[in-house]
Amino acid sequence: MSATSAQKPTLLSIRNIAKTFGRNVVLRDVSLQIAEGEFLTILGESGSGKTTLLRIIAGFETATSGEVWMGTERLDQQPPYRRRVNTVFQNYALFPHLTVEQNVAYGLRVARRPDAEIEQRVTEALEKVKMTAHARKKPSKISGGQQQRVALARALVNRPNLLLLDEPLSALDANLRRQMQVELKSLQREVGIAFVFVTHDQEEAMVMSDRIALLRSGELEQVASPREIYSRPATAYVAQFIGHTNLLRGEVRDGVARCGSLSWRTSAADGPALFSLRPEHLRPSSVASNGTVRVTGKVLQQAFHGATSLVRVECAEGLVLVMRTSSGALAAQEVELEFSPDDAIPVRESPERA
């Protein structure tokens, strides 16, 4: 997946962007390439700077330093209304005094397109988001999900090179949200416009994106496809933020990792090391397997999650491991677990940042 985006030509190039508000550093030295037609998610906790980055691309904020380029054109010195970039706002920002139709037509009207063209494109856009029946209504008369569609149509009707979406699904309830995730993704495929999607929800990011850019305290931790970011997290923070993980702290010497009483062969460099081990890679040990790392412990707690359960197991020296199992409740208090050394992924430390 990461290969596909690398092959496509670059649409937008963010170079060494930094942003400070007074003494508060929001972004530091962020560089990111966005390929044509890709669905890129900027993922991060609140306060990570993800919305600020989006607003810099849109032109609502000015970066303290760094540049934004679209092809051969420098974007960051243009006012927002000259950029071929459109935004779907978090609360949609539909104009309350205009009807659905007039909202969608807004961008074309201010660009003084001919009436016939406006009518045709607005009709098409409303059809695409299935809002034709509500064209004459005011935004206050339609539901949140419908407002969301109108906001999309209003942005897409202008045929931007890039669509920015600022947590557009956060106001919807869980069911509608899942449905919109699917719809949004297929809409993106259909129109072929690059989407930059901002969210704090890692599950949403995994479901929708071609690539995820994980932002932490104003710095990019990792930019990769969902599969890669999950299976090969670069840092401890990434491993913990995306899904559940066990972090094993230890030391590598002569190609052997030691963590308490556990040890296994690894390709990681010598020195202090940190490994991420996903709960699903732990299993109750069986006689048949060999070459696995084994550890015994006591079941502390089981949490039922539907298809799977998460089991907390306390091992020697205070090590607590979380295992994912689909085999229902574990009867034994004492269990022996195993994992294969390949599944312990070496990750970088994520030091605290101011």
Partner 1 sequence: MFSRAYKTAVTVPPLAWVAVFLLFPYALMFCYSFWSVTPAQTIVHSWNFNNYKELLQKSVYWQTLLRSMWIAARVMLFSLLLGYPLAYFLSFYAGKRKDLLYQMVIIPLWVSYLVRAYAWKTILGSDGVLNTLLQYVHLTSHPLDFLLYSPFAVALTLTHIYTPFTILPIYASLEHISRNLVEASHDLGATPAQTFWKVIFPLSIPGVVAGATFAFLLSLGDFLAPLLLGGPSGIMISNIVVSLFGAAYNWPLGAAISLGMLVIVVSLLFFSERLEKKWSFS
Partner 2 sequence: MILADSQQRRTAPRANWLRLHASAVFAFLYLPIAVLILYSFNGQGVGGFPPHHLTLDWYRILFADGAIWDAVLNSLQVALAAMIISLALGIPAALALDRVQFPGKALFRRLVLLPLILPGIITGLSLLMLFNLTSVKLSLLTIALGHGTALISVAATEVFAGLQKLDRAQEEASLDLGANYWQTFWRVTVPNLKLPIIGAALLIFTLSMDEIAVSFFLIGRDNTLPLEIWGRLRRGITPEINAVSTIIFVFSLLTIVFWYRLRLRSQGTPDVGMELLDPSDGTSTQATKP
Q: Catalog residues that contact partner 2 under the rule CB under 8 A.
A: 21, 60-62, 79
- 58 forms part of the interface with partner 1 (CB under 8 A): yes
Between CA 49 and CA 17 the distance in angstroms is 11
Between CA 153 and CA 104 the distance in angstroms is 6
- 21 forms part of the interface with partner 1 (CB under 8 A): no
Q: Helix or strand or coil: residue 51?
A: helix
Q: Helix or strand or coil: residue 337?
A: strand
- 158 forms part of the interface with partner 1 (CB under 8 A): yes
Q: Alpha carbon 30 to chain centroid distance?
A: 16
Residues 101-120 that bind partner 1 (CB under 8 A): 106-107, 109-111
Give the shortest CB-109-to-partner 1 separation in angstroms.
8
- Greatest Cα pair distance, the chain, in angstroms, is 76
Residues in contact with partner 1, counted by CB under 8 A, come to a total of: 28
List 3, 23, 46, 79, residue binding partner 1 (CB under 8 A): 79
Q: Which is nearer to partner 1, 55 or 211 (CB)?
A: 55
298 binds, among partner 1, partner 2, none (CB under 5 to 8 A by kind): none
87 binds, among partner 2, partner 1, none (CB under 5 to 8 A by kind): partner 1
Burial class (CB in 10 A: 0-12, 13-18, 19+), 291: exposed
- 243 forms part of the interface with partner 1 (CB under 8 A): no
- 271 forms part of the interface with partner 1 (CB under 8 A): no
152 binds, among partner 1, partner 2, none (CB under 5 to 8 A by kind): none
Strands (DSSP E) found in the chain: 10-21, 24-35, 39-43, 65-70, 73-74, 85-88, 162-166, 194-199, 211-216, 219-224, 246-253, 256-259, 262-265, 271-277, 283-284, 293-304, 309-315, 320-325, 334-339, 345-347
| Sequence-separated (6 or more) residues with CB below 8 Å from residue 262 | 248, 250, 293, 295
Between CA 189 and CA 277 the distance in angstroms is 34
Give the shortest CB-60-to-partner 2 separation in angstroms.
6
Give the shortest CB-61-to-partner 2 separation in angstroms.
6
Q: Which is nearer to partner 1, 103 or 222 (CB)?
A: 103
- 60 forms part of the interface with partner 1 (CB under 8 A): yes
In 3D space, the residue among 10, 62, 83, 75 whose CA is nearest the CA of residue 40 turns out to be: 10
304 binds, among partner 2, partner 1, none (CB under 5 to 8 A by kind): none
Residue reference for tokens 């089981």: 302
21 binds, among partner 1, partner 2, none (CB under 5 to 8 A by kind): partner 2
Q: Which is nearer to partner 2, 65 or 120 (CB)?
A: 65
Give the shortest CB-64-to-partner 2 separation in angstroms.
11
Which one-letter DSSP state was computed for residue 269? P
Between CA 54 and CA 152 the distance in angstroms is 16
245 binds, among partner 2, partner 1, none (CB under 5 to 8 A by kind): none
Give the shortest CB-87-to-partner 2 separation in angstroms.
13
| Sequence-separated (6 or more) residues with CB below 8 Å from residue 175 | none
Between CA 184 and CA 169 the distance in angstroms is 10
- 198 forms part of the interface with partner 1 (CB under 8 A): no
Q: Which is nearer to partner 2, 60 or 304 (CB)?
A: 60
Give the shortest CB-191-to-partner 1 separation in angstroms.
17
What does the chain come to in residues?
354
- 93 forms part of the interface with partner 1 (CB under 8 A): yes
Q: Which is nearer to partner 2, 61 or 166 (CB)?
A: 61
Q: Which is nearer to partner 1, 15 or 159 (CB)?
A: 159
By CB under 8 A, name the binding residues for partner 1: 58-60, 79-82, 85-87, 89, 91, 93-97, 106-107, 109-111, 138-140, 154-155, 158
